[in-house]
Chain A
Amino acid sequence: GFVGAVVMAIRELKVCLLGDTGVGKSSIVCRFVQDHFDHNISPTIGASFLTKTVPCGSELHKFLIWDTAGQERFHSLAPMYYRGSAAAVIVYDITKLDSFQTLKKWVKELKEHGPEDIVVAIAGNKNDLGDIREVPMKEAKEYAESIAAIFIETSARNAVNVEELFQKISRRIPPLDPQELENNEAFKLTRQPPPSNKRCC
């Protein structure tokens, strides 16, 4: 009995959620975590911190999703939440121009103080409310491209593009090269190699 077990490496990836209060940060994540609910996944105590494991290529990505309070008064606490994050999802409400301005502030702060190589994803939520839209999709998309961020419009309510948002993030996380894995078996230094912009899958 020699069993060559194929071990799928689970990588824990901290993901931070930023954005104005009321734009639907936690709704997006709740939707993401609850759809295809897997009873094997250990539940968390509340919706501010959620986890979900998704396959990506030959790996499993376990997202540890840190929600932040969007109110201005909590703004100064944000560094504690985004430190060590592999990715940040900045959410705005397509029906609220203000929330898009806040988003730009977050982008700036992340560039200045955030982890190096953090994957930034911009999510325009509530795209089911297209008729009262205040932020044109084109404008947001161009902005995202200018900062090399992922861009997607979502609807947490209708479960539109939620899965896709996290898939896009997963793909931006550099894979663990299997060759490297063999060569460096002895040098397992971090559980979470910092992400870069290399694409995988």
Chain B
Amino acid sequence: MASTLVKPCLLDRTGSFFKLIDAFASEIGELKQEMVQKDLAHERDPQITGMQCSLEEDINSLYLQDTMGSARDSGYDSLKRKISILDRLTQTHPVWLLLHLSDEEAARILQQQPPGIFLVRKSTKLQKKVISLRLDSEFGPPIKDFPVKESQYTFSVEGSGISFADLFRLIAFYCISRDVLPFTLKLPEAIASAKTQTDLEEVAQLEVGFWDIPVCNSKRTPTPSSHPSASNSVCRLQRQQQVSPSDSLPPLRTRTPSELECGQTNGALCFVNPLFLEVHRQEGSSGGSVKRSKTRESSTQNKTRIPPPRPPPPKTQIKPTVKQMSMPETISWVRQREDEETMGSMLNTSPKKSIPVPPPRPWKQMSVPEVESRRNAVLADHTIQQALERSRSKCPQMEPILASSPSTNTLPGSQEQQREEGRQRLSDMSISTSSSDSLEIDQSYPLPVGPAGAGDSSLEEEYGVESDQDISPPPIKSKKKHSSTFVLPRGLKGQFRKVSGVFNNFLTPEKRMVRRIADLSKDKGTYFGCLVQDYISFSQENKDCHISGLDMLQTIRQFITQVKSYLVQSSELDPPIESFIPEEEVDSVLEKAMHKCILKPLKSHIEASLKSFQVSSGSWKQLRDNLCLVKQKKPQDLGVDAAAPDSVVIEKIRHKFLNMRKMYSPEKKVVLLLRVCKLIYTVMEDSSGRMYGADDFLPMLTYVLAQCDMPELDTEIEYMMELLDPSLLHGEGGYYLTSAYGAMSLIKNFQEEQAARILSSETRNTLHQWHRRRTTQRITPSVDDFQNYLRVAFQDVNSGCTAKTLMVKPYSTTEEVCQLCAEKFKVQDPENYTLFLFTGETSQQLAPDTYPQKIKAEIHSRPHTQPFHFVYKRPSNLNICLPSDEENGNCLSN
């Protein structure tokens, strides 16, 4: 029986994992309620009135007329009157962007549609996103899938040389130009002819059910009541009317131009394409679609009580029956890296099984300057223009003339002219582009931003520095060389503020996404926002809930990993992140976003806590003393057999370390550590001309760290070691971080070393533990890992199995935990219940004076952790066992 209980049977891993998160969040919510009074009184703003637009006969003419109009007056006024294709697409994506739709479903839907109608989905066969296009049946198969190629931050249709910053722009383009497709894509009539935002919203509400409504092709507004899924959406619409859609919408955040990154090579890649210019008015909040989804969230909330928002449904929007089966495979592709970090053990899949390995993200291994320049290779709207121009000139291999133009501060006016030219060429819809040189062009495309000035407006974004600290930027030679950051004079700022919505789009898709997630994390109307905000305030208010700095950092890392998984699976990011970010990059973008949402607000708290742990344990003093001791050693004493950095270089290095301290992002910190290491290598190699391996480098690094005499570095290294994305630990950053940790350990134990020749066994154990922890963590994070939470299953004859996550401090006794359980599970006869530990095949009753958290920690520290569970039950209750599939949180109480 015990064996059935603990056997990890997690085939439906997505489901159980999701529920785990769910359980965790609801428990956090409960804890939070007990601590904090929450105010849910939302102000209900009047609904934003939909924009009135003139009806167009068809999309093409709408589009052309649209652009012609703007070409004439080159202002925003004429654009405001209409809804662009991109807007229509963005707002109705729940209808056509159906990533989890099966081949069969897609075929079924499209067969009833006229040629040109399309869906975008993820083909399970190809493991790629595809445009499923309804063809003219006379000429062959009725439906064809056109795969979408994703490379770094770009999307393109396979076989075409035109790339786009996101899926929406790609689809919008193919609505007006067929390029490699047999003909242009066609929007369903209801979307194409919608006159107002409200019309579009109504259509979007229908989601996949839209296609089953016979009227979806007519010009009438859909009358959905006849259809089951449509009636759902009607209910939703009604609910929506009760709650104003704008209430939970974060205010459009405007930024001053100085906040924008306008450097030529390190940002500003999403140029405003005149074709879709008007779209950008709504960006930032992603227009109506975000509004809609948020409304849905808040409308389901109980207004009298204060529950945390329930998690929205997972992304799969297809029928429930399909969902269950398709979820693991359909979701996994997004989560490849997530999987390796979080899902491994939960699946109970033998790691020896040959498993497909996703190609690595190449930039992770690159040196810094290269990363920066590659990042900039984002293709954006202007690519369309490029392509159009190229097609007109019928010179596919066109030289990047614009790129080589010396006038980098092209005036807006001349840009405008270029745009106009691009627009006029739109009549030539059929483009063939064979070259892929657009990358180069885009990389150095000049920016229409005003006079150059000093300053690093984007420092925060770029380096993960706390924004409230006034710091000088870390000197980065490679960047300085080819980028100039523009900052507008103060006087101009006011004027530009008006159009900051437009400037928002100068950000790379990555930055926009990070920003969107960061905004979402502050919105307590969302489940995600609640999760993050509750965690942050919980951490800040409960300083004593960790037994060590390490313990604290681990908890944070696990939280980050879990929230990331949640975000990938949930539907709260709407439109889904995959429609903006290529699959390969999704995880790294999420990681960045998590740093911003979680580490940024917690940074000073973490620092203070780490320091106080160090001081109270006495290791601070020991470190200081040893640093003094080692600092007096000559390089030779430390085994250094190469030229050592002089005081000038040491000062430079100290400066880099000081900058490192200001950053919250562990990745950015590691980048600076790499720069320090590079500098050390340079000094060593310059004087001898030979290459140095670890035999020489590690002693030198030890020497340098001692010379810098910065005891704070110890916690810096700890911070990076514990919080860095686990997927980066094997790379160069991981290597030098390991070396820095090793060097620091050597310094810390220097006196002992002199006596005992080698590092203390304690350090050695610590290293072993770190190894195990960080390796294990990649496989087995679960709610159990949250250091101060204890998941306890409750077994009762009548109600079966339930489980709760309780807050249990490290020194809480089993007796205390039992009391807590009795309270939480509402047990009438607590004297008849006690706490058991189920491990592997066995179960044992825990004595009242034992410490469950200590037991948990002990089990976790074993080399081969067996699954284990704490169960609160009657001692003799042997006739009920937990079904194996109900473990890991599937049996929840609510």
Is B356's CB under 8 angstroms from A188's CB?
yes
* B340 contacts chain A at the CB level, 8 A cutoff: yes
Give the contacting residue for A46; candidates B144, B362, B677; CB below 8 A. B677
Give chain A residues whose Cβ lies under 8 Å from the Cβ of B354.
174-177, 180-181, 193
As a 0/1 sequence over residues 669 to 682 of chain B, the CB contacts with chain A under 8 angstroms (1 = contact) are: 00000100110010
* A190 CA to B347 CA, complexed, in Å: 12
Which of B29-37, B287-295, B739-747 lines the interface with chain A? B739-747
> In the complex where A71-B699, A77-B745, A80-B742 touch, is A10 in contact with B357 (Cβ < 8 A)?
yes
Is A76's CB under 8 angstroms from B758's CB?
yes
* A160 contacts chain B at the CB level, 8 A cutoff: no
- Among residues of B, the one whose C-beta sits closest to the C-beta of A195 is B352
* A194 CA to B739 CA, complexed, in Å: 24
* A196 CA to B354 CA, complexed, in Å: 10
As a 0/1 sequence over residues 1 to 36 of chain A, the CB contacts with chain B under 8 angstroms (1 = contact) are: 111010101111010010001100111011000000
> In the complex where A177-B354, A188-B332, A190-B340 touch, is A80 in contact with B771 (Cβ < 8 A)?
yes
* A10 CA to B362 CA, complexed, in Å: 10
* B648 contacts chain A at the CB level, 8 A cutoff: no
- Smallest Cβ distance from A33 to chain B, in angstroms? 10
Is B727's CB under 8 angstroms from A191's CB?
yes
Is B753's CB under 8 angstroms from A73's CB?
yes
Give chain A residues whose Cβ lies under 8 Å from the Cβ of B878.
none
Is B771's CB under 8 angstroms from A188's CB?
no
B323-356 residues at the A interface, CB under 8 angstroms: 328-330, 332-333, 336-337, 339-340, 343-344, 347, 349, 351-356
Most chain B Cβ neighbours within 10 Å, of A67, A73, A180: A73
Give chain B residues whose Cβ lies under 8 Å from the Cβ of A117.
352
Give the contacting residue for B356; candidates A42, A49, A185; CB below 8 A. A185
* A84 CA to B290 CA, complexed, in Å: 42
Is B158's CB under 8 angstroms from A5's CB?
yes
Is A69's CB under 8 angstroms from B695's CB?
yes
Give chain B residues whose Cβ lies under 8 Å from the Cβ of A14.
730
> In the complex where A9-B359, A10-B360 touch, is A188 in contact with B336 (Cβ < 8 A)?
yes
* A47 CA to B692 CA, complexed, in Å: 6
- Among residues of A, the one whose C-beta sits closest to the C-beta of B771 is A83
A171-201 residues at the B interface, CB under 8 angstroms: 174-177, 180-181, 184-194, 196
- Smallest Cβ distance from B174 to chain A, in angstroms? 13
* A105 contacts chain B at the CB level, 8 A cutoff: no
* A75 CA to B731 CA, complexed, in Å: 21
Is A77's CB under 8 angstroms from B159's CB?
no
> In the complex where A45-B681, A185-B356, A193-B354 touch, is A76 in contact with B763 (Cβ < 8 A)?
yes
* A51 contacts chain B at the CB level, 8 A cutoff: yes
Is A80's CB under 8 angstroms from B694's CB?
no
Is B362's CB under 8 angstroms from A73's CB?
no
Is B730's CB under 8 angstroms from A22's CB?
no
B748-775 residues at the A interface, CB under 8 angstroms: 753, 757-759, 763-764, 767-768, 770-771, 775
Give the contacting residue for B677; candidates A22, A42, A45, A51; CB below 8 A. A45
Is A46's CB under 8 angstroms from B357's CB?
no
- Smallest Cβ distance from B667 to chain A, in angstroms? 16
Is A186's CB under 8 angstroms from B358's CB?
no
Give chain A residues whose Cβ lies under 8 Å from the Cβ of B362.
42
Give chain B residues whose Cβ lies under 8 Å from the Cβ of A7.
359
Is B339's CB under 8 angstroms from A44's CB?
no
Give chain A residues whose Cβ lies under 8 Å from the Cβ of B358.
9, 188, 191
Is A79's CB under 8 angstroms from B336's CB?
no
A-B contact count (CB 8 A): 223
- Smallest Cβ distance from A15 to chain B, in angstroms? 10
Is A64's CB under 8 angstroms from B691's CB?
no
Most chain A Cβ neighbours within 10 Å, of B145, B336, B355, B771: B355
Give the contacting residue for B691; candidates A5, A11, A26, A77; CB below 8 A. A26
* A37 contacts chain B at the CB level, 8 A cutoff: no
* B112 contacts chain A at the CB level, 8 A cutoff: no
* A45 CA to B370 CA, complexed, in Å: 12
* B76 contacts chain A at the CB level, 8 A cutoff: no
As a 0/1 sequence over residues 691 to 725 of chain B, the CB contacts with chain A under 8 angstroms (1 = contact) are: 11111011100000000000000000000000000
Give chain B residues whose Cβ lies under 8 Å from the Cβ of A11.
357
- Among residues of B, the one whose C-beta sits closest to the C-beta of A10 is B359
- Among residues of A, the one whose C-beta sits closest to the C-beta of B680 is A46
* A72 contacts chain B at the CB level, 8 A cutoff: yes
* A141 CA to B729 CA, complexed, in Å: 34
> In the complex where A84-B730, A177-B354 touch, is A26 in contact with B770 (Cβ < 8 A)?
no
Give chain A residues whose Cβ lies under 8 Å from the Cβ of B360.
10, 12, 62, 191
* B146 contacts chain A at the CB level, 8 A cutoff: yes
B547-594 residues at the A interface, CB under 8 angstroms: none
* A43 contacts chain B at the CB level, 8 A cutoff: yes
A136-178 residues at the B interface, CB under 8 angstroms: 174-177
* B147 contacts chain A at the CB level, 8 A cutoff: yes
Is A49's CB under 8 angstroms from B357's CB?
no
- Smallest Cβ distance from B354 to chain A, in angstroms? 4
Is A189's CB under 8 angstroms from B351's CB?
yes
* B732 contacts chain A at the CB level, 8 A cutoff: yes
- Smallest Cβ distance from B798 to chain A, in angstroms? 38
Listed by A's residue number, 30 A-B pairs whose Cβ atoms lie within 8 Å are: A5-B149, A25-B693, A25-B694, A26-B691, A46-B677, A46-B678, A48-B692, A64-B735, A66-B738, A67-B693, A69-B697, A69-B698, A73-B753, A73-B758, A75-B758, A77-B759, A176-B355, A181-B354, A184-B355, A187-B328, A187-B332, A188-B357, A189-B339, A190-B340, A190-B351, A190-B778, A191-B336, A191-B337, A193-B354, A196-B352
CB-CB nearest 10 A-B residue pairs = A26-B693, A1-B159, A186-B329, A67-B694, A47-B691, A69-B698, A46-B681, A76-B759, A77-B742, A49-B735
Binding site for A on B (CB under 8 A): 124, 127, 144-147, 149, 157-160, 180, 328-330, 332-333, 336-337, 339-340, 343-344, 347, 349, 351-360, 362, 365-367, 370, 639, 674, 677-678, 681, 691-695, 697-699, 727, 729-732, 735-736, 738-739, 741-742, 745-746, 753, 757-759, 763-764, 767-768, 770-771, 775, 778
